[in-house]
Structure 1
C-alpha cells in the first residue's frame, strides 16, 4: 500500500517532445499553416494489459508512433511537427500547404487513425497550436487573453499560500511551462518550482512554500501584470560575435567593434566576494546590459571559457 504505479516503471529513455518553438522554426513571413488532431488517439492503437492507466511510460510510447508519421511525411517531401496526437504543417504557399494537409490526412487514415474533423484547420496564416496562437503575417506568437487572465489570477492566489499540494504545483508548473512558449526566458523561473514538486511523492502531499519558490512565483506575477501576451519570433540566424571573460580583478566583453572593461574593486565592490563562476556569469549579464538594444529580437551565442558558466546559462 502507498506505492504509486510509476514507482515500478523502472528506468526509461528520456524523449524530447516537439514544441511550439519547433513549429515556429518552420514559419517565415506570410507562410501558410494547417493542423490535424487525432480523435481518441489511444483507441487507434492496441494497448498491452501490462501498461496501466497513468503510466509515465505511455506518452513516450505513443510519441514514437507520431514521430514515425512525421518521418513518413518527410519521405513524401513535407516537413511537419508532431506532438503526440497534434500535427502541424507549414508551407510557403497555400496550394503546397493544402497538398501537405491532404497527404497527411490520407496517411493517418491509412494507418488506422481517426481524424478529429472539427479540429482540422485548413491552410491559413494565423493558427492555434498547442494552445499558442502563431501568426505568420506579423511573425508573432500570442497567448489567448482568457487563459492569460486565468493564469494571472492563479499566480496572485499562490502568493498568498503557505502550503500547496503536489497536484496544485503540477497544475501551476504546467501552465507556466505553456506560457514559456511565448515568455522568453520564463523557464529559468520554473526550475525551482519543479524541484519542489519532485520532493513530494503523492498528489495530496503538501509542500510548505519555501522562499525561493515564492520568489519565482512573484517574478511570474510581476511580469504577467504588464505582459500583453505577445512575443515576436527570434531571428533565424544568431549573432555569434559576442565574447566575455572574467577574472578576480575584473571582466570584459567584446561585440563587433565595441568593448567594455570593469574593475571589480572600483566599479562593483560586492563582486570581489563572488566565486569565479559567478563572476563569469556576471560578465555575461554586463554584456547583455550594454548591448541589449542591438540584440532586440535576435538569437545570441556568447562564447565563454568556463563550463560551469555555460551550464548555468543553459539551465
Structure 2
C-alpha cells in the first residue's frame, strides 16, 4: 500500500517560525482533532504523546522525528506531517521533519512498517529535496505518490535491526576487544574481516573464559577461591591472544529478510540476546532482544 494513502492534506503543514517540540506536537494534535473524532484529544492526547516520547527517543539521525501514540477504542491510523524551516532540537538531533502517527493498540505491525517506509524515505536525499520544494499538503501527497513510497505487509529483522553496528577484526587483541566493549557499552559484537565478511561473534563471556582453566569448568562451584588468581591468565594474555582465538563460530547468523518471530525463536532456542544479521556473507547489522522489546512489544 502506498504511504500517501495514509495521509490527509489537512494534517500536513509547514512551519516557518522557530518552535519547540511541544509546540509542534500541539499544532499537529489540533489539526488532527479538528477533523477526526478520537477517544482522547487536546491536552490529554498531547500528554500521551509526550509520555511516549519520554520512554525512548523518537528522533532519528537522518533528521526525522516520528512521535506516536496507540490508543484503545480507535480503529484507524492517522498521520500528521510538519516540515520545519527552523530545526527543533530533539535529544540533541536537529529535526526538520516531524511525522506524528496515531493508531490503535493492536497495530504494532502496521506502525513498524510505516516507520520503516518513513526511515527509508528520510535516507533518500533526492526525495527529501523534492518534498521540501512543495509548499502545500496536496502537493506532498502527490509527490509521495510519484516517488512510489510503499508500506510493506511484513515486518522483518531489517526493519528494526541496528545497522552498521560496532564490530571487531579477528586479528584484534583481547585488549583492543575489551576497549571496544567498554567504549561502546556492549557485551558482544560480530567479528568481520576488512571487507565486512562475517566471521563469527565474540562476547564478554568468551573473554572472561580465557581466565578460567578448563578443569575449573568441571567443578560444581568455586566458592573456596577468595582471590582473582585464575583471571590473571586473562590479564597476562590480553596483548598476545586475539579475537580469533576466542570467538564463537557455531551459531548461524540471521538474515535481514527473516521475520521478527524467527529472531525471537532463535534467541530463546539458543539463549542468546544478540544475533548478527548477515546478507550474502556480509554483515549488515545486529538485532538484540531489547530491540524486539522496545520496537515491537513497547512500540
Larger RCO: Structure 1 or Structure 2 (Cα < 8 Å, ≥ 6 residues apart)? 2
TM-score (structure 2 length as normaliser)? 0.29
TM-score (structure 1 length as normaliser)? 0.28
